[in-house]
């Protein structure tokens, strides 16, 4: 993961690090630390945050006890993970939070633009070409799914969204889509397996562009990519702009490959 880290040995150092660096995107906070623990440090950080800024805090705890999660959330933390940490799930959690941060920044920028132009809704992302299409999107993180759907619908795409891979696959077997977006890490049927089933089904979506949303496009992914029929990767953390860019690139390519659609696009434009 391409990140810069600030480290702290206790709550006091965590607060000092937070105050020294205005561009922290995410805080990983151990609950049990000497001098000042994570709960107190989180409360203190929330008190010191300027208006409009809220850095996500993920609690790390060694002893999962009843009520721990609620105590963490009441202290101003946003998420919770218990040691020993499962690396894949933890990585997914961090990437999801970082993606949410990027979407929130885009939203804030849109709200600022809107406040500068009276009575005009400001789009989340800049207006682009005229490519349209029906998209199937599967993402198990509720907030990210809602953010992605909002951005895609604002760009005038029709979106069917699902919180798990099995539901997405059922939809893909029933309806034709212009593009499929699949989160790589979902409970039950993950993105690779859904993509493979869509391809093997030889049904309505056998040739649809499939984009896997992943934490990496490294060699281990590349080796499975052709077997699963993945066309491209959208790497977390991604911004609304990066989401639209990759969707439009593949829809443009799909339309260019389909003569009658390409003809239609020439006629309407």
The site for Mg ion (CB under 5 A) is made up of 140, 183, 185-186
Nearer to Mg ion, 15 or 172 (CB): 172
CA 70 to chain centre: 24
In the complex, the smallest distance separating the C-beta of residue 185 from Mg ion, rounded to whole angstroms, is 4
Contact 253/209 with Cβ under 8 angstroms? yes
Nearer to Mg ion, 89 or 173 (CB): 89
In the complex, the smallest distance separating the C-beta of residue 77 from Mg ion, rounded to whole angstroms, is 20
Nearer to Mg ion, 14 or 186 (CB): 186
Contact 147/104 with Cβ under 8 angstroms? no
DSSP codes joined into one string, 22-89: TT---EEEESS-SSS-HHHHHHHHHHHSPTT----EEEEESS--TTHHHHHHHTT--EEEESSPPHHH
Residue 100 token pair: 């949410």
In the complex, the smallest distance separating the C-beta of residue 190 from Mg ion, rounded to whole angstroms, is 8
**Phi, psi torsion values for 49, nearest 5 degrees:** -65, 135
In the complex, the smallest distance separating the C-beta of residue 92 from Mg ion, rounded to whole angstroms, is 5
In the complex, the smallest distance separating the C-beta of residue 201 from Mg ion, rounded to whole angstroms, is 23
Nearer to Mg ion, 186 or 251 (CB): 186
Written in H, E and C, the secondary structure of 187-237 is CCCCHHHHHHHHHHCCCCCCCCCEEEEECCCCHHHHHHHHHHCCCEEEECC
Nearer to Mg ion, 55 or 143 (CB): 143
Nearest residue to Mg ion, scored by beta-carbon proximity: 185
């Amino acid at each position: 993961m391409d990140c810069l880290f600030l480290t702290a040995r206790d709550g006091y150092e965590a607060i000092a690090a937070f105050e020294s660096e205005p561009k922290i995107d995410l805080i990983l906070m151990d609950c049990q630390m000497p001098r000042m623990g994570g709960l107190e440090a989180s409360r203190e950080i929330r008190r010191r945050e300027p208006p409009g800024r809220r850095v996500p805090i993920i609690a790390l705890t060694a002893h999962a006890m009843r009520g721990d999660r609620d105590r963490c959330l009441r202290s101003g933390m946003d998420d919770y993970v218990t040691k020993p940490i499962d690396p894949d799930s933890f990585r997914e959690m961090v990437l999801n939070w970082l993606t949410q941060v990027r979407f929130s920044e885009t939203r804030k920028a849109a709200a600022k633009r809107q406040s500068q132009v009276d009575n005009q809704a400001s789009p989340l992302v800049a207006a682009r070409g005229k490519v349209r299409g029906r998209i199937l999107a599967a993402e198990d993180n509720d907030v990210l799914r809602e953010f992605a759907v909002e951005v895609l619908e604002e760009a005038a795409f029709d979106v069917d969204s699902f919180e798990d891979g099995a539901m997405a696959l059922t939809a893909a077997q029933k309806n034709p889509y212009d593009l499929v977006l699949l989160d790589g890490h979902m409970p039950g049927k993950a993105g690779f397996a859904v993509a493979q089933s869509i391809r093997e089904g030889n049904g309505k979506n056998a040739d649809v562009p499939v984009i896997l949303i992943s934490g990496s496009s490294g060699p281990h992914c590349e080796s499975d990519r052709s077997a699963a029929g993945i066309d491209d990767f959208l790497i977390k953390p991604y911004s609304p702009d990066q989401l639209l860019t990759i969707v439009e690139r593949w829809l443009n390519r799909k339309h260019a490959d389909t003569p009658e659609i390409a003809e239609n696009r020439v006629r309407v434009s």
